[in-house]
Amino acid sequence: MLSVVGREFDRTCEAFSRREFLRIGALGIGGLSLSDVMSVRTNAAAGSTFVKDKAVVLLFLQGGPTHIETFDPKMTAPSEYRAMFGEVKTSLPGVTFGSHFPQLASIADKLSIVRSFSHGVGSHQTASELVAAGGNPTKATMGTIYSRVAGGSNTKTGIPNNVILAPPAAGDKYKGLGGPSSRVTNIGSLPAAYKAFDPSSGGNLIDNMKLQLAGDRLDDRRVLLTQLDGIKREVDATGVLSGADRFQQQAFDVIVGGVSEAFDLSKEDAKLVERYDTSMFEIPAWLKKKKSNVPGQSPIALGKQMLMARRLVEAGCGFITVTSAGWDMHGNAFGVDDGMPLLGPSVDKAVSAFIEDLEARGLSDKVLLVITGEFGRTPRINQKGGRDHWGNLCTLAFAGGGLSMGQVVGASDRTAGRPISEPVTVQNLLGTIMHTLFDVGQLRLETSVPNEIARTLTSNQPIPQLIG
């Protein structure tokens, strides 16, 4: 028997105010079953049209990516300000990127770069939480907000609607890599049920799974997949759970189908996996010895994380946050001078593969990719070969989602220190993402969404140049 314990639901935001005990196997309980929950959600969503058939993948470069060495190289500035490694021409006339992004430069017509994103906050945790939440008053991340409105899981596939992919999600060999995920998974004032599902730490689904057959807690992703495969073999050869109705079958598929298969990269074509692969960007041993936290900042898992993100999108997940650490480039070990030659190319390879993969699958308009971090870096290079915290200009780029691509939004001053055009705010970021995911006009008429959430979704304006 496989049992799953749900989390507390807040009375003001959910219909349920007690703990749910969900038992899968016989799929029956003395109370509310997983299939019952899915039935309730499906019936409640009947006739609702405000949730679009779209998804967002947020690539969060933890530490504060340098906006100059990424997408605003400023080679006309004095040498102590301009991009340390120079620039590369893009497919857009007169537009250049930092030199570590040749593959993205070649498909710049599929990107929109924002050079006026500013919020003024220079503290890692505060800025991370601010950007991840889009400055909304609940302080819940945008993924959490999406999950609250669209439902904790996709009602057709059962896949969680809010997932975070830190490097360890790509496999056991990546344990110890990455930054603090808690900075980009804040639930604010919303119930814990909507917190991002984290496969690398068990998440609020896997943490609560128990196989009574073995009596072992399934903390390990590999063990989880092995055990679930065993359950599959006990089911009819047709894959149908004997005697199950539609919602019971769906509940079964959540556990033995969608979740496990979405994280199984062995089903992918080897050439495509190689296209995404970032394992060659391993931090060399001599650099790892310079500072104790450097080994954990290796970007070798990023390609697999982005490939997983694409698989999750296809499985029906609506909001995926991918994290990549190492972007706190002060210097004296993994500064701009020695960090960018590894982190920059890893993003260039993984992201360009992701964009091209989506296009090949006809998913470009369905999926909005957002690239950002908590803040930018100081315009002037410091004496240690790095740049320090800077919230007055920050990295921000978009691809897909049916938005207007092939442009640069806004402009920075002569040293890339501040916007000289109308600043793009975190609220504009929130508005852009929520207008992509929801029909805001229809949402205003929806009575099932709490007022505070409805205001968050409808009151923030998207970046006008992207909406078109």
Query: Where is average pLDDT lowest: 28-42, 311-325, 418-432?
Result: 28-42
pLDDT band at 446 (very low <50, low <70, confident <90, very high): confident
pLDDT of residue 258: 55
Domain ranges of the chain: 51-201+246-467
448 pLDDT tier (thresholds 50, 70, 90): confident
- Chain-centroid distance of CA 276 in Å reads 17
Q: In sequence order, what are the beta bridge partners of 419?
A: 412
Q: Which two tokens stand for residue 266?
A: 């062995």
pLDDT of residue 35: 45
State the first-to-last Cα distance of the chain, in angstroms, to the nearest integer: 52
- pLDDT tops 80 at residue 38: no
Instruction: Answer with the residue of higher pLDDT: 62 or 240.
Output: 62
* Percent above pLDDT 70 for the chain: 77
The predicted structure's pLDDT at residue 190: 92
What is the C-alpha to C-alpha distance for residues 42 and 22, in angstroms, rounded to an integer? Answer: 17
Euclidean distance between CA atoms 245 and 303, whole angstroms? 39
Average pLDDT of the chain to the nearest whole number: 83
Compute the average pLDDT of residues 339-347: 97
**170: helix, coil or strand?**
helix
- Which residues on adjacent β-strands are paired with residue 23? 3
Q: What is the pLDDT of residue 207?
A: 39
In the predicted model, what is the mean pLDDT of residues 292-315?
A: 96
Cα dihedral sign, 442-110-347-85: negative
The token duo for 445 is 């008429």
Helix 142-150 to helix 451-458 angle (10° resolution) is: 120
SS3 321: strand
Q: State the pLDDT at residue 221.
A: 45
The verdict on domain 51-201+246-467 having CATH code 3.40.720 is yes
Least confident segment among 65-69, 189-193, 337-341: 189-193
Q: Residue 410 to residues 94, 298, 463: CA-CA distances in angstroms?
A: 15, 32, 10
- Residue 158 — very low, low, confident or very high, per pLDDT cuts 50/70/90? confident
Look at residue 251 in the predicted model and tell me its pLDDT: 53
Q: State the pLDDT at residue 105.
A: 98
Radius of gyration of the chain (CA): 22
Q: How confident is the model at residue 14 (pLDDT cuts 50, 70, 90)?
A: very low
Q: Which of 41-50, 235-244, 278-287 is predicted with the least confidence, judged by mean pLDDT?
A: 235-244
Torsion sign (Cα): 345, 350, 354, 356: positive
DSSP 197: B
The first and second tokens of residue 71, run together, are 């997408």
Helix (H, G, I), strand (E, B) or coil at 432: helix
